[in-house]
A and B are shown apart, each in its own frame.
Chain A
Amino acid sequence: MSVTTKRVFPGVRSTSAWNLKDASAGSGEVDNSDLFLTAGDSRIKTTGNWGSAFASNRWLEFDFNSSRPGGVPVSAATFNFSFADNVAGDTACIYIEVYRASTATLLGSYGSSGTPLACSSSNVTFTTVNQSIATEVTSTDVLNDLRIRVYGKESGGKAMKLDLATVSATTAYGSSTTYEQISRDQASGTLTTTNWSVGTAADNVNYPAASNWATTFSASRYLKFAFDPSVPAGSVITSVTLNFYYRSNTAGDTACWYGEAYNGATLLASYGSSGTPQSCNTGNTTYSTDTVTMSTLTSANDANAVSDVNNLAVRAYMKESGGKKTQIDFVQLNVNYYLD
């Protein structure tokens, strides 16, 4: 009797909405995605002021999300980091260390205080580092539990600008990108921790809509979330759910929403409507913790389920009874799939 197991066991893999476009004003989308999502998107994080020399207590840290199926060998993993000096004429330099996030175990380092991994002498042009960390990240178990620490110095004791911090990885089943869930800035020696606004529920960090909503739904007023779950080609998707946690920004007001799922310009499904919202929530103290079942995106119901899920964008249309803002605590896509 010959027995072979599935290449990827069934399981729910969850990923936050890293890509966030805000059309709450009703006048087009504003990119409020994760600051470290993409290079060249003009979404820049400015660090605290560094020392002019490397120091053990001056660093940045990035904890990455764990959305890959575990136990899969990784054939290539790369830390992608883009930075520039914040001051003309100064020079900023970095080196990195690779850790297991859960145990804070140092796995390896690239560059050193004596031999930096990279330097930038421009406050205009970003220097991009694509450092292989394949020696450390040998499986998705490590990839799902990854922390990168970036030590830095700035010749004038000033800040750096950061444009990109991701980890790209390749397995036998495809390539994926892992995004930062938590960033820590200790450039100045004092720690500042920043959670991705919609990445963790009940962490006292939320995404406030950029503009006030209207008191009625409008087709031009929405938030748009994209996820990049990187479901391997050929996978069978058995369930898809969306977590959407929200509340009004104003005491006594009521916020409502309904959703639409898209692949590009193609509408895949709707969840509620302007006449019958998906849900409503009154007040600014408790989040409505909605879990939306997206059964139309399963393989049983969608011949292009993998493509549709990988390219999924969800629009959340909102209205607010007082015409005020809303707060979004958590937006996460949960995909249960396996690969034979």
Chain B
Amino acid sequence: MVIPPPGDASRASRADNTTMRRNRFPARKLLLTIAALGAAASIAGLGTFATFTSSTSVSHTIASGTLSLTAPFSRLGTGASPIAAGDTMQRAIDLSYSGTISFGSATLTTNATSSSLLDTDATNGLQIAIDKCSQAWTESGPPYTYTCGGSTSTVLASRALIGSSIALSNLTLTAGSTDHLRVTVSFPSAAGNTLQNQSSTISYTFTGVQRNGTDQ
């Protein structure tokens, strides 16, 4: 999902599970900016009285960039069954910033499309943590596990799985780059027997927010 610039929320596009939609940098805002420049020129012309006139024409081209967040690789669609307390599930996902505009931040929203105690019990239900590898994770399995040949950093410390607009840290977010993430969903060892025979389906939505505007 891509969040539009302020004042243009109607252009937000929806994302499905694990996928990020691409969205052109809002054209309407660019057009409004160009119209304001023309009005200023006209006002300046109204204050000029001369017999002879001279004019120069300046061409000013402004091109909008693109803001694109995609997941060219994802294992998040791979479920796990049956699990027991103490089990962990590792799934890799690549977040690619393939537009020409960098992101300023990214968040994760998770919700249960099919719910049970696994997602409603914040303490003994499923927990999530995300870390990043400086290069693509080396995958083995299934069951999938990953090792990092580069350096790792924490994107999201362990917390209850379900949450809205959860801030993500240490992402590159730079246009043209890719973050290699490993999502670890864990089922706490302390989970009691009430969590036996439970089933949940979890949807993940990564949302990127455009960087702040700068002088261009």
| Residues of A that sit less than 8 Å from B by CB | 1-10, 69-72, 141, 338, 340
Stretch from B32-40, B53-61, B64-72, B195-203 forming part of the interface with A: B195-203
B194 at the interface (CB under 8 A from A): yes
Q: Find chain A residues with CB under 8 A from B191 CB.
A: 9
B12 contacts the other chain (CB 8 A): no
Residues in A whose Cβ lies below 8 Å from that of B85: 9
Interface centre among A4, A10, A69, A70 (most CB of B within 10 A): A4
Contact B194 A3 (CB under 8 A): no
B196 near A3 with CB under 8 A, answer no
Report whether B77 and A1 are in contact in the complex, using a CB–CB cutoff of 8 Å.
Answer: yes
The residue on A at minimum CB distance from B75 is A1
Residues of A within 8 A of B200 (CB): 2-3
Chain A residues near B82: list those with CB within 8 A. Answer: 4-7, 340
Contacts of A141 in B (CB 8 A): 193
Q: Is B80 an interface residue (CB 8 A)?
A: yes
* Interface band, chain B: 20 to 34
B149 CB-CB contact with A under 8 Å: no
Residue of B nearest to A11 (CB): B193
Assess whether A1 is in contact with B197, with CB atoms less than 8 Å apart: no
Q: In the complex, what residue of chain B is closest to A8 when comparing beta carbons? A: B196
CA distance A187 to B202 in the complex (A): 58
Instruction: Tell me the bound Cα distance from A320 to B142 in angstroms.
Output: 56
With the chains together, A9 CA to B78 CA distance in Å? 22
Chain B residues with a Cβ under 8 A of chain A: 76-85, 89, 91, 114, 118, 126, 185, 187, 191-202, 204
- Specify which chain B residues have a CB less than 8 angstroms from the CB of A338 in the assembled complex: 84
CB < 8 Å: which of B84, B193, B198, B201 contacts A1? B201
Residue of B nearest to A73 (CB): B197
**Pairwise interchain contact A4-B199, C-beta atoms closer than 8 A:** yes
Closest Cβ–Cβ distance, residue A141 to chain B (whole Å): 7
CB distance from A102 to the nearest CB of B (A): 16
* A6-B196 in contact (CB<8A): yes
Query: For the complex, what is the distance from the CA of A6 to the CA of B91, rounded to whole Å?
Result: 20
Cross-chain contact B114 with A5 (CB below 8 angstroms): no
Cβ B84 vs Cβ A5 within 8 A: yes
Q: How far is the CA of A1 from the CA of B198 in the complex (A)?
A: 14
Residue in A closest to B204 when the chains form the complex, CB atoms: A1
Asked whether, in the complex, the Cβ of A2 is within 8 Å of the Cβ of B81, the reply is yes
Distance of B38 from chain A, by nearest CB (Å): 52
Query: Which of these, B185, B187, B197, contacts A7 with CB under 8 Å?
Result: B197
A71 contacts B196, CB within 8 Å? yes
Report if A3-B199 is in contact (Cβ < 8 Å); known contacts: A9-B193, A71-B192.
Answer: yes
**CB neighbours of B80 from chain A (8 A):** 1-4
| Docked complex Cα distance between A69 and B202 (Å) | 28
Which of A2, A9, A340 contacts B201 (CB under 8 A)? A2
7 contacts between A and B (CB under 8 A): A2-B114, A4-B81, A4-B199, A9-B193, A70-B193, A71-B193, A71-B194
Alpha-carbon distance between A3 and B125 when the two chains are bound, in angstroms: 11
A7 to B201, CA, bound (A): 17
Residues B193 and A6 in contact, CB atoms below 8 Å apart: no
A69 to B196, CA, bound (A): 10
A113 to B76, CA, bound (A): 63
- Chain A residue numbers with a CB within 8 Å of B187 are 3, 5
Task: Please name all residues of chain B whose beta carbon is closer than 8 Å to the beta carbon of A71 when the two chains form the complex.
Answer: 192-196
Q: How far is the CA of A340 from the CA of B197 in the complex (A)?
A: 9
Which residues of the other chain, B, contact A1 by a CB distance below 8 angstroms?
A: 76-80, 89, 91, 185, 201-202, 204
> Contacting B79 at CB < 8 Å: which of A2, A6, A9?
A2
Are B197 and A2 within 8 A (Cβ)?
no
CA distance A69 to B76 in the complex (A): 32
| Given A1-B78, A338-B84, residue A9 in contact with residue B202 (CB < 8 A) | no
What residues on B are CB-neighbors of A8 within 8 Å? 196-197
Residues in A with CB closer than 8 Å to B76 are 1
Determine whether the beta carbon of A72 is less than 8 Å from that of B193: yes
List chain B residues, Cβ under 8 A from A3: 79-81, 83, 89, 118, 126, 185, 187, 199-202
Q: Give A8 Cβ to nearest chain B Cβ, in Å.
A: 6
Distance between Cα atoms of A70 and B199 in the complex (Å): 18
Identify the 9 closest CB pairs spanning chains A and B, nearest first.
A71-B193, A2-B79, A4-B81, A6-B82, A70-B193, A4-B199, A2-B201, A340-B82, A7-B197
- Using CB atoms, name the residue of chain A closest to B113: A2
Q: In the bound complex, do residue A5 and residue B118 qualify as a contact, i.e. CB atoms below 8 Å apart?
A: yes
- How far is A1 from B201 in the complex, measured between Cα atoms in Å? 5
Residues of B within 8 A of A2 (CB): 79-81, 114, 199-202
For B118, what are the chain A residues with a Cβ–Cβ distance below 8 Å?
Answer: 3, 5
In this complex, what residue of B is CB-closest to A338?
Answer: B84
**Which residue of chain A has the shortest Cβ distance to B18 in the bound complex?**
A1
